[in-house]
Amino acid sequence: ESAIKATVPLCKGEKAMSIRFEKDNRLAIVTIDRPEAMNALDMSHNTELDRVWAEFRDDDDLWVAILTGVGNKAFSAGADLKTLIPAQGAGVMDDWNFGGITRNFTTYKPIIAAINGVALAGGLEMVLACDLRIAADHARLGLAEVKWAIIPGAGGTQRLPRAIPLARAMEMILTGNPISADEAYQLGLVNRVVPGDKLMDEARALADTLLARGPLALRAAKRAILEGASLPFNEAMNLELELFNAVMRTEDAVEGPRAFAEKRAPNYQGR
């Protein structure tokens, strides 16, 4: 099947919003395209990311997503301090969902972060909201908010201590100092580190691996992991069994063993 790519315009008028949303068969690629602002998000770009991620979540033809930024300097420097932070201070965004995926958003489809440069403050919070993370070797990751007399407000204080040892999370949050890609890998914050010019190739290869798996099984496994983490062990085991039984009744669960027996690649349909 040939690849079909479509860049979806994100607003009407002469200029497109600087968020790219590409569909390549069952893969979605979301790219923040504000290199002049280190891919930081202002109000309008944050709103567009809300819309883009809702479309990804609701499109049955899209199974996996990659989130990245334009250029090799920044994945995202977080919130645009000139617009987003003043708006938050004025109470405009009392229940904000930074980057479209950090709060009040649920999808069990896998999301890969391709970290092409610095991921600071809200940039790292978006990374933390992704399921798998690949970093360019020159990337730096940090939560710098305390430097500006604020604290992380898009999940940083909650997701980072769940992702790495508490003492290191405390150090990153309380000092505001970033860490290198290699340090992030050693802490288990990212899955792998690759040369910058290989980043998207590696992210696409990982996406291809996920796309070859049963999509309903991936979603059930992700749900079991995320929801089970906050449940008592016995309740988590019951959730796993419930999801296991549901997946076993799908057409894909029939196709998988059949393909194995016939020594061919499975043809999953998400049913």
The pLDDT tens digits of the residues spanning 165-184 come to 999 999 999 999 999 999 99
Reply yes or no on whether the pLDDT at 150 is more than 60.
Answer: yes
Quickly state the pLDDT bin for 15 (edges 50, 70, 90). very low
pTM: 0.90
Cα separation, 215 vs 88, in Å, equals 37
Cα separation, 111 vs 101, in Å, equals 10
Reply yes or no on whether the pLDDT at 1 is more than 80.
Answer: no
What CA–CA distances, in Å, run from 67 to 99, 102, 243, 244? Answer: 10, 13, 27, 29
Cα separation, 139 vs 154, in Å, equals 21
**30-56 per-residue burial string, b: 16 or more CB within 10 A, e: under 16:** bbbebeebbbbbbeebbbbbbbbbeeb
pLDDT tens-place string over residues 27-80: 999 999 999 999 999 888 999 999 999 999 999 999 999 999 999 999 999 988
pLDDT value for 90: 55
pLDDT tens-place string over residues 132-147: 999 999 999 999 999 9
Nearest residue to 47 via CA among 112, 97, 120, 91: 97
Reply yes or no on whether the pLDDT at 271 is more than 50.
Answer: yes
Catalytic residue flag (residue 262): no
pLDDT value for 91: 55
Residues in the chain: 271
Cα separation, 14 vs 260, in Å, equals 52
CB 98 within 8 A of CB 83: no
pLDDT value for 88: 58
Cα separation, 3 vs 25, in Å, equals 6
pLDDT value for 80: 85
Lowest model confidence (mean pLDDT) among 112-126, 150-164, 251-265: 251-265
Reply yes or no on whether the pLDDT at 5 is more than 90.
Answer: no
What residues contact residue 261 under an 8 Å CB cut-off, 6+ apart?
A: none
pLDDT value for 247: 96
Q: At what angle do helices 166-175 and 156-163 cross, to 10 degrees?
A: 140
CB 73 within 8 A of CB 35: yes
pLDDT value for 6: 39
CB 202 within 8 A of CB 134: yes
Structure tokens that stand for 208 in this block = 């291809």
What residues contact residue 32 under an 8 Å CB cut-off, 6+ apart?
A: 18, 19, 39, 41, 45, 49, 67, 68, 69, 70, 75, 76
pLDDT value for 187: 97
Query: Residues 36, 55, 145, 242: which is the catalytic one?
Result: 145
Catalytic residue flag (residue 171): no
Give the angle 29-129-177 at the CA atoms, nearest 5°: 110
Cα separation, 85 vs 1, in Å, equals 46
Which secondary-structure segment (H or E) carries 259?
Answer: helix 251-261
pLDDT tens-place string over residues 214-255: 999 999 999 999 999 999 999 999 999 999 999 999 999 999
pLDDT value for 10: 38
Query: Residues 14, 22, 125, 171: which is the catalytic one?
Result: 125
pLDDT value for 31: 97
Lowest model confidence (mean pLDDT) among 4-18, 31-45, 98-112, 249-263: 4-18
What residues contact residue 64 under an 8 Å CB cut-off, 6+ apart?
A: 26, 27, 28, 109, 110, 111, 112, 207, 210, 211
